Amino acid sequence: MKIARTLTELQAATRTLGETAFVPTMGALHSGHLSLLAAAKADGRPVVASIFVNPTQFGPNEDFNRYPRDEAGDLAQLEASGCDLVWLPDVTTMYPAQAATSISVAGPALRWEGAARPTHFGGVATVVAKLFGQVRPAAAYFGEKDWQQVQVISRMVADLLLPVQIVPVPIARDVDGLALSSRNRFLLPPERAGAPALFAALTKAATQIVAGQQVAAALHDARATLTTAGMVPDYVALVHAQSLEPLDALEHPARIIAAAKLGTVRLLDNVPVA
Ligand code: AMP
């Protein structure tokens, strides 16, 4: 596995690889990230992963400084997963001192995470566009764990005519249903024990809505379940799966998306409603 820390090293390495499959990450890798690498690998192209904790997608009062970092552990996992090249840019490479250009996002970025974290998706889109320009992959793999992010990136690629195929990868979960996340390590043991209530509540609401229950009632029950489990729900919504517009009644394609605070951790999850 090659490691590139400068653009010159990256360009030298990508030149020999031909068409690549790309997995952008912020590190602190877990099995969720590895499922993206496995999906990329299975498609047969050489795999490039990046690790960059992107400052512009964190708000002023968010956890940029405490975001977990473990480069040695990450590199060992990437090597074991068969990754061909790792791109480890520094902040000044990604954000040159005179930088005056960024990507502005609307549409699927406006609600939910976009409302709770107003600068978040602009930061994500900007860094992903830069990474695409550097790595120039044929395909890029994103986790459905961040459902809204996949829609924002897909919209950006369509709108800016970027020559890359976006491949969504299903959510990797712990055995009890909790969606894997680098931030789960900050859950205290009793919080971790209660955290699967989120997936359980969303699954139940999806089943009820498919069975014909009123959408508002099913979502209300799900929010109440989260509160009983000690969470502070931010949103639990039935949305159009691509536009992220809220739905009052079931139409397809639909998704239930949710965010809830548990202790100091903001948990995200989503399920299909089919
Ligand atoms: P992050 O390092 O949190 O920015 O995540 C990097 C990529 O891994 C993103 O595309 C995430 O959606 C994806 N990812 C994170 N957790 C999971 C998970 N539990 N299942 C599937 N993909 C995930």
Give per-residue pLDDT as tens, 99-149: 999 999 999 999 999 999 999 999 999 999 999 999 999 999 999 999 999
Reported confidence tier of residue 266, pLDDT bands at 50, 70, 90: very high
Reported confidence tier of residue 10, pLDDT bands at 50, 70, 90: very high
Distance between Cα 121 and ligand 1 center (Å): 15
Question: What CATH number does domain 182-268 carry, 3.30.1300.10, 3.30.360.10, 3.40.1800.10, 2.10.210.10?
Answer: 3.30.1300.10
Answer whether 180 contacts ligand 1 (Cβ < 6 A): yes
Ligand 1 atom having least distance to the Cα of 26 = 2
The Cα-based distances of 86 to 10, 180, 188, 243 in angstroms read 9, 22, 32, 33
**DSSP character at residue 112:** T
Task: Phi first, then psi: give them for residue 262, nearest 5 degrees.
Answer: -130, 115
Answer whether 169 contacts ligand 1 (Cβ < 6 A): yes
Query: What is the structure's pLDDT at 224?
Result: 98
**DSSP character at residue 125:** H
Examine the residue annotation and report whether 33 is marked as an active-site residue of this protein. Answer: yes
Q: Whose CA is nearest to atom 18 of ligand 1?
A: 32
Mutational pocket test of ligand 1: of 37, 47, 145, 186, the residue with most ligand atoms within 8 Å of the beta carbon: 145
Query: What is the structure's pLDDT at 34?
Result: 98
Q: CA-to-CA distance for 55 and 69, rounded, in angstroms?
A: 13
Tokens 């793999």 correspond to 141
pLDDT tens, position by position, 251-261: 999 999 999 99
pTM: 0.98
pLDDT tens, position by position, 18-67: 999 999 999 999 999 999 999 999 999 999 999 999 999 999 999 999 99
| CATH number 3.40.50.620 given to 2-169 | yes
Answer whether 145 contacts ligand 1 (Cβ < 6 A): yes
pLDDT tens, position by position, 179-193: 999 999 999 999 999
Query: What is the structure's pLDDT at 215?
Result: 98
CB 156 within 8 A of CB 127: no
* Domain 2-169 shares a fold with domain 182-268: no
Query: What is the structure's pLDDT at 250?
Result: 98
Query: What is the structure's pLDDT at 66?
Result: 94
Instruction: Provide mean pLDDT across the span 172-201.
Output: 98
Distance between Cα 12 and ligand 1 center (Å): 28
Domain borders along the chain are 2-169, 182-268
Query: What is the structure's pLDDT at 240?
Result: 98
Query: What is the structure's pLDDT at 101?
Result: 98
CB 210 within 8 A of CB 273: yes
Strand stretches in 62-164, DSSP E: 85-87, 139-143
Query: What is the structure's pLDDT at 201?
Result: 99
Q: Whose CA is nearest to atom 10 of ligand 1?
A: 142
- Considering the candidates 33, 120, 220, 252, report the single residue annotated as catalytic: 33
